[in-house]
């Protein structure tokens, strides 16, 4: 399965549109948003996804009740929460925004999961930590680091591709 991974969109419509274009072109099966959509108006862009989307709340997401309702309109299976755990292709996943570093560290150290995906730091990261695949796609918005990035994970091969949205033309 191909997973699109995105975080920290922070209302950056141009980059959200690029990311959705990449995910659609790459024919991802599922998009995971690691939080910080920020404003509700960006949700309409995610209606253009050709895949399912699941997501977690970020520390900058406002209007959480409406955000959850609007995401449900896009994908009935979207259970917007503070964290998600699920299994795909025999891999156990844990997704959270990552606001609280000690919680993130505890989840990784628990070895309960094969893959831990988070955002919040705005720094892209892909590495194996004590046998656990840890992924942060970086920031879609590019506001803090100057680099706008998303990722795609192949769950069968465990290959990860980081995509620099500044190198993607408008789709």
Per-residue pLDDT of the chain (171 residues; tens, 9 = 90+): 999 999 999 999 999 999 999 999 999 999 999 999 999 999 999 999 999 999 999 999 988 999 999 998 888 878 789 999 999 999 999 999 999 999 999 999 999 999 999 999 999 999 999 999 999 999 999 999 999 999 999 999 999 999 999 999 876
Q: How many domains does the chain have?
A: 1
CATH code, domain carrying 56: 3.60.21.10
Contact 71, 55 (CB under 8 A): yes
Question: For residue 87, how far is the Cα from the chain centroid?
Answer: 16
> Residue 171's pLDDT is what?
65
Range of the domain at 98: 2-167
CA dist 171 and 160 (Å) reads: 22
Show the beta-strand stretches assigned E in 21-99.
Answer: 30-33, 52-55, 83-88, 91-96
> Residue 125's pLDDT is what?
96
Would you say the pTM of this structure is higher than 0.85?
A: yes
111: left (phi over 0), alpha (psi -120 to 50) or beta: left
From residue 3, give the alpha-carbon distance in Å to each of 10, 33, 66, 107, 161. 21, 10, 25, 21, 10
Of 34, 48, 47, 50, which is closest to residue 2 (Cα–Cα)? 50
DSSP state of 26: T
Contact 31, 23 (CB under 8 A): yes
DSSP reduced 3-state for 138: coil
């Amino acid at each position: 399965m191909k997973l699109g991974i995105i975080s920290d969109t922070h209302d950056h419509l141009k980059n959200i549109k690029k990311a959705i274009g990449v995910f659609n072109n790459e024919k991802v099966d599922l998009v995971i948003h690691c939080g910080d959509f920020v404003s509700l108006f960006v949700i309409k862009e995610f209606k253009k996804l050709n895949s399912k989307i699941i997501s977690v709340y970020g520390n900058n997401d406002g209007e959480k009740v409406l955000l959850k309702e609007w995401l449900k309109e896009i994908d009935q299976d979207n259970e917007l929460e503070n964290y998600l755990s699920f299994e795909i292709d025999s891999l156990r996943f844990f997704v959270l925004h990552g606001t609280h570093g000690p919680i993130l560290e505890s989840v990784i150290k628990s070895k309960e999961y094969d893959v831990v995906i988070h955002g919040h730091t705005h720094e892209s990261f892909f590495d194996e930590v004590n046998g656990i695949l840890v992924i942060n796609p970086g920031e879609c918005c590019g506001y803090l680091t100057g680099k706008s990035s998303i990722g795609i994970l192949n769950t069968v091969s465990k290959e990860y591709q980081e995509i620099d949205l500044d190198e993607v033309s408008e789709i």
